[in-house]
Structure 1
Amino acid sequence: MTDTSPRRAGGRAARRQARANPLAENLRPIRPGMTGGRYEPLTASDLDRIHNAALRALEEIGLSDAPASGIRIMTEAGAILGDDGRIRFPRALVEDMLAKANRTVTLCGRDPLHDLDLSGTRVHYGTAGAAVHMVDVDTGHYRESTVQDLHDAARIADQLDNIHFLQRPMVARDIPDNREMDLNTIYACCSGTLKHVGTSFTEPSFVPDAFELLHLIAGGEEAWRARPFVSNSNCFVVPPMKFATEACEVMEACIRGGMPVLLLSAGQAGATAPASIAGAIVQAVAECLAGVVYVNAMAPGHPTIFGTWPFVSDLRTGAMSGGSGEQALLTAGCAQMHRYYGLCGGAAAGIADAKLPDMQAGWEQMCSNVMAGLSGLNMVYEAAGMHASLLGFCHESLILGDDLIGQALRCVRGIEVTEDDLSLEVMRATCLGGPGHYLGSDDTLNRMQRDYVYPVLGNRASPKEWVEQGRPILVEKATERKERILSKPSRARFDPVTDVAIRNRFNIHLN
């Protein structure tokens, strides 16, 4: 019997050396913008039926409560204002505006390396939400979130490979003035990450100040308009089938300022949207199609994300159930509708109803994140860090989500079946006169990093090795990584001259 231990030892050394050398971006096994779309819960006829139902809803039911400016914009384009105050949308108008819609949106980062191409079925994962609490994993308690928590979340997300953008995940509850809160949200996020940032505005009158701040960060209005690195998350509708008047005015101001817009419809199935999964999708699609008309009647081709975000209720209680299988199906179905129209789209996934980063959180976050990616969703919002059905955010969970999303992205990549991947020559060399195993072979070493994804914190040791390592606990390792990240200065911090100019103009609460 041949002694194979030296060969195995050499293989381990070679594998360690291979992993020590980072791959070029195009050779990494996972990366932002990988192509999904293999999972299709809806048939072609299902898609047609949902589309036609949405058009009927727009023609026959319409939407109420548009601001005067919106009424003018949409009726001049061909929408009809009824005696009941509702705006209805003829099918031909919707089809005309769909033809004008932007299908090649790129969301810019402050660093071009983090630009997000939303064309086709390219998939990107990131944060979102408006949590009002932080989860303390040491005590299990919830406390109100602060602007420092938000800044720390941005700094952490900036260092996580599989978090591709940062949409504001929590509210700065320590800033009671809404104008200052909105402006400090931009400062906290943009000084924490070079990735694309999404945010919202409480009132239309706050938007001009926000643009002044963004122009200071960008180095002038021209530089901002050339590369807008912040987008507006805009709940322009209040389901069911009503415009949110002030949010629409915010949207108009953002469009005039050159900011990309997320048209966000967030009905809750069984409460503010139909209880059936198909019906919830129909309403969300109808509301977002109204947004497409609104935006493109005002500014044809403005960069816009079709944000169908229907949520799920636990019908026993009426409470939101973001971690359910039904939520995963809703999100995947919405992604198919985005593809049906050829529009850049986003929806919610990765939400945990679990209160802490435990096993329940793991299955809830993984289920919807995988299905969202497989369905080809361009922007997977709320993919990491969210607990208690969006009420709580957790820094450790954000870090653990980076590993979780890495595995989801590997599923998105799928299985390549080229002649080389079939491995017949490798089998021949191994079995006919070779060592009889693939450990340490050139093919195995070459595929170690190109084909396989390894968790940063997830532990794959044997029980014996795990004990020798000191029985590491996953959440504790996440806390250690959080502290390492936050111990170093943010690479996104503003230069001193810019920072002084910002602080002289605005009341910045971060030290």
Structure 2
Amino acid sequence: MNELSPVSRRSGGRAARVAARSAPLAENLRPIRPGLPGGQYKPLTEAGVKRIHEAALEALEVIGLSQAPESGVEIMTKAGAILGDDGRLRFPRALVEDMLAKAARNITLFGRDPKYDMHLSGTNTYFGTAGAAVHIVDVEKREYRESTSHDLLAASKLVHHLDNIHFFQRAMVCRDVTDNLLMDMNTLYACCAGTTKHVGTSFSDPSHVADGFDMLHMIAGGEDKWRARPFVSNSNCFVVPPMKFATESCQTMEHCIREGMPVLLLSAGQAGATAPAPLATAIVQAVAECLAGVVYVNAMSPGFPAIFGTWPFVSDLRTGAMSGGSGEQGLLTAGCAQMHQFYGLPGGAAGGMSDSKLPDMQAGWEQGILNVMAGLSGLNMIYESVGMHASLLGFCLESLVLGDDLLGQVQRCIRGIDVTEDSVSIETMKSVCLEGPGHYLGHNQTLEVMQTEYVYPVVANRSSPKEWVELGKPDLIQKAIERKNRILAEAAPSLIDAEADAAIRKRWEIYC
């Protein structure tokens, strides 16, 4: 990319200035970019963080977790966990602290293209998708229908071409594939065929994992290349809150670890239902469950890359239904980010869900507020940040396009205000006020920073009412539909090598 050169008012006329301002910026000059550090927002006090930590350790020692598979019991008891007569594994404080010391930090999640690598260190923030929506939102018909493998592939392609969405985790279920093995394989294929950004997926049965790695080795060009740069992570609900291991998911996790696939240790309790109703105690349970996962992973493979996935959700306590777009959800997510930073572990949580059924004003405020809170908290991996509606039941392709604009503004908030000697110098003010025209329009400084300091939306409309009328009263949703269709029309059919793609299609029935 070319760096933007300072533009003089006499450097060749308006056309030259416009061309210079339109030139792509070098990555380090862009106003926003993947991995911006957050951490400015802290809903928990330092004392509150320590109190939650102590309560989580107490829960692991006193309550423990049940239903670990036999292999997991063997792994964890050899490390020092205690199996009680009631079948529950309990974790002494010293064991947890020992495994925390061994846990991986500052990990990198790879893309198939290295330019999409994500460095999970400190408060670096990355935004992406996730979920298991069973419906796709048809905004033109204002209705929901079952999601398909074609929808998943389309979502993957869109994410690949939207700069402010940094990774693609399986966002919906392929309801057109009735065989469970083929559903998992079509899910993995659709994710990888559409993007070379990092991908996350899950397996519905431990017996499907071997097939999944056969496909990944084909895509990577061999097992050695896969192990050198594993570009897919396993989203693993290894616990069933409250405080139970998910037996089959644990078996899947063990297999993925042996095959070199990073894992997301996902605890997804719902406050007031499967997690305590007080927000602080909901975090306690999520932290306790994920600490059990840290023990599990590091007892099996010390230092293996794992993401601390505290995902506590919120209930609308009037009905018991999930409320993904609530302010309480933002608080839970930001509080979890503080716990991740307390442990120094790479962490992820859900950050941008909406309860709204369509990409309307409700969706805008819910997604905007939650993503800003998650980003400012310094959460490393912000899952479900775009596209997810109806409290995770519906996914909207147009919302990916709109969300790309939204996340651009969110990331500008995360970056904050740069205070340097140049940026606070009053020399420009002196020249404008004492010698110049009395305004800053067209000034060299204004032209120099308009790309490096400011972010501009692609589909959002900033015209005046008069200009809006002259432009034909453009509609935001219609513009999103048009951009979606344009991206999909120009996207490659598959980003998997043609020979590997053919081999995959020969072995498994691929629906998309």
TM-score > 0.5, shorter chain as reference: yes
1:15, 1:440 within 8 Å by CA — same for their partners in 2?
no
Tell me the equivalent position of 1:235.
237
Question: Please, which moves more after superposition, 500-509 or 134-143?
Answer: 500-509
Tell me the equivalent position of 1:335.
337
Q: Name the SS of the counterpart of 2:480 in structure 1.
A: helix
1:232, 1:262 within 8 Å by CA — same for their partners in 2?
yes
Identity of aligned residues (%): 71
Which of 113, 130, 144 in structure 2 is aligned with 1:142? 144
Count, aligned residues? 503
Determine if the alignment matches structure 1 residue 54 to structure 2 residue 56: yes
Determine if the alignment matches structure 1 residue 303 to structure 2 residue 305: yes
| Aligned counterparts of 1:232 and 1:423: Cα–Cα separation in 2 | 50
The residue identity in structure 2 corresponding to 1:509 is Y
1:15, 1:448 within 8 Å by CA — same for their partners in 2?
no
* Cα offset, 1:499, TM superposition: 1.4
* Cα offset, 1:34, TM superposition: 0.5
Could you tell me which runs of 5 or more consecutive residues in structure 2 were left unpaired when the two chains were aligned: 1-8
Tell me the equivalent position of 2:5.
none
* Cα offset, 1:503, TM superposition: 1.4
| Aligned counterparts of 1:224 and 1:345: Cα–Cα separation in 2 | 23
Tell me the equivalent position of 1:79.
81
Which of 353, 363, 371 in structure 2 is aligned with 1:369? 371
Matches within 5 A, 1:270-289: 270-289=272-291
* Cα offset, 1:15, TM superposition: 5.9
Q: Name the SS of the counterpart of 2:450 in structure 1.
A: helix
Tell me the equivalent position of 1:443.
445
Which of 318, 321, 325 in structure 1 is aligned with 2:320? 318
Tell me the equivalent position of 2:390.
388
| Aligned counterparts of 2:81 and 2:388: Cα–Cα separation in 1 | 39
1:62, 1:89 within 8 Å by CA — same for their partners in 2?
yes
| Aligned counterparts of 1:14 and 1:99: Cα–Cα separation in 2 | 57
* Cα offset, 1:493, TM superposition: 2.0
Determine if the alignment matches structure 1 residue 508 to structure 2 residue 510: yes
1:200, 1:234 within 8 Å by CA — same for their partners in 2?
yes
- Taking a change above 3 Å as real, the CA distance of residues 15 and 56 of structure 1, as seen in their structure-2 partners, is farther
CA deviations over 1:261-298 (Å, ceiling 9, x no partner)? 00000000000001011010000000000000000000
Matches within 5 A, 1:344-359: 344-359=346-361
The residue identity in structure 2 corresponding to 1:433 is E
TM-score by length of 2: 0.97
Q: Name the SS of the counterpart of 2:354 in structure 1.
A: coil
Q: Name the SS of the counterpart of 2:297 in structure 1.
A: helix
* Cα offset, 1:426, TM superposition: 1.2
Tell me the equivalent position of 1:69.
71
CA deviations over 1:375-405 (Å, ceiling 9, x no partner)? 0000000000000000000000111000001
* Cα offset, 1:430, TM superposition: 1.4
| Aligned counterparts of 1:18 and 1:336: Cα–Cα separation in 2 | 42
Tell me the equivalent position of 2:101.
99
Tell me the equivalent position of 1:31.
33
Q: Name the SS of the counterpart of 1:264 in structure 2.
A: strand
CA deviations over 1:448-470 (Å, ceiling 9, x no partner)? 01000000001000000001111
Tell me the equivalent position of 1:43.
45
CA deviations over 1:310-351 (Å, ceiling 9, x no partner)? 000000000000100000000000000000000000000110
Structure 1's consecutive aligned runs of 4 or more residues displaced over 6 angstroms after TM superposition are none
CA deviations over 1:152-180 (Å, ceiling 9, x no partner)? 00000000000000000000000011110
| Aligned counterparts of 1:313 and 1:449: Cα–Cα separation in 2 | 42
* Cα offset, 1:492, TM superposition: 5.1
2:219, 2:497 within 8 Å by CA — same for their partners in 1?
no
Q: Name the SS of the counterpart of 1:420 in structure 2.
A: coil
- Taking a change above 3 Å as real, the CA distance of residues 454 and 272 of structure 1, as seen in their structure-2 partners, is same
CA deviations over 1:170-218 (Å, ceiling 9, x no partner)? 0000001111010111111101001000000011110011000000000
1:350, 1:384 within 8 Å by CA — same for their partners in 2?
yes
Could you tell me which runs of 5 or more consecutive residues in structure 1 were left unpaired when the two chains were aligned: 1-6
Q: Name the SS of the counterpart of 1:449 in structure 2.
A: coil
1:40, 1:333 within 8 Å by CA — same for their partners in 2?
yes
Tell me the equivalent position of 1:198.
200
* Cα offset, 1:490, TM superposition: 2.1
2:164, 2:404 within 8 Å by CA — same for their partners in 1?
yes
The residue identity in structure 2 corresponding to 1:365 is Q
2:136, 2:146 within 8 Å by CA — same for their partners in 1?
yes
* Cα offset, 1:102, TM superposition: 0.4
Tell me the equivalent position of 1:3.
none
| Aligned counterparts of 1:477 and 1:22: Cα–Cα separation in 2 | 23
Matches within 5 A, 1:241-256: 241-256=243-258
| Aligned counterparts of 1:395 and 1:497: Cα–Cα separation in 2 | 29
Determine if the alignment matches structure 1 residue 457 to structure 2 residue 442: no
| Aligned counterparts of 2:65 and 2:371: Cα–Cα separation in 1 | 32
* Cα offset, 1:12, TM superposition: 6.8
The residue identity in structure 1 corresponding to 2:389 is H
* Cα offset, 1:494, TM superposition: 2.0
| Aligned counterparts of 1:274 and 1:16: Cα–Cα separation in 2 | 56
CA RMSD of aligned residues (A): 1.3
2:196, 2:495 within 8 Å by CA — same for their partners in 1?
no
| Aligned counterparts of 1:224 and 1:17: Cα–Cα separation in 2 | 42
* Cα offset, 1:505, TM superposition: 1.7
Matches within 5 A, 1:416-427: 416-427=418-429
Tell me the equivalent position of 2:4.
none
1:11, 1:439 within 8 Å by CA — same for their partners in 2?
no
| Aligned counterparts of 2:92 and 2:494: Cα–Cα separation in 1 | 47
CA deviations over 1:27-56 (Å, ceiling 9, x no partner)? 000000001001111111011000000000
| Aligned counterparts of 1:62 and 1:187: Cα–Cα separation in 2 | 38
CA deviations over 1:133-168 (Å, ceiling 9, x no partner)? 000001110000000000000000000000000000
2:107, 2:120 within 8 Å by CA — same for their partners in 1?
yes
Question: Please, which moves more after superposition, 351-360 or 429-438?
Answer: 429-438
| Aligned counterparts of 2:352 and 2:472: Cα–Cα separation in 1 | 30
Matches within 5 A, 1:471-486: 471-486=473-488
| Aligned counterparts of 1:136 and 1:11: Cα–Cα separation in 2 | 46
CA deviations over 1:385-440 (Å, ceiling 9, x no partner)? 00000000000011100000100000000111111111311111211212211111
The residue identity in structure 2 corresponding to 1:113 is K
The residue identity in structure 1 corresponding to 2:127 is Y
TM-score by length of 1: 0.97
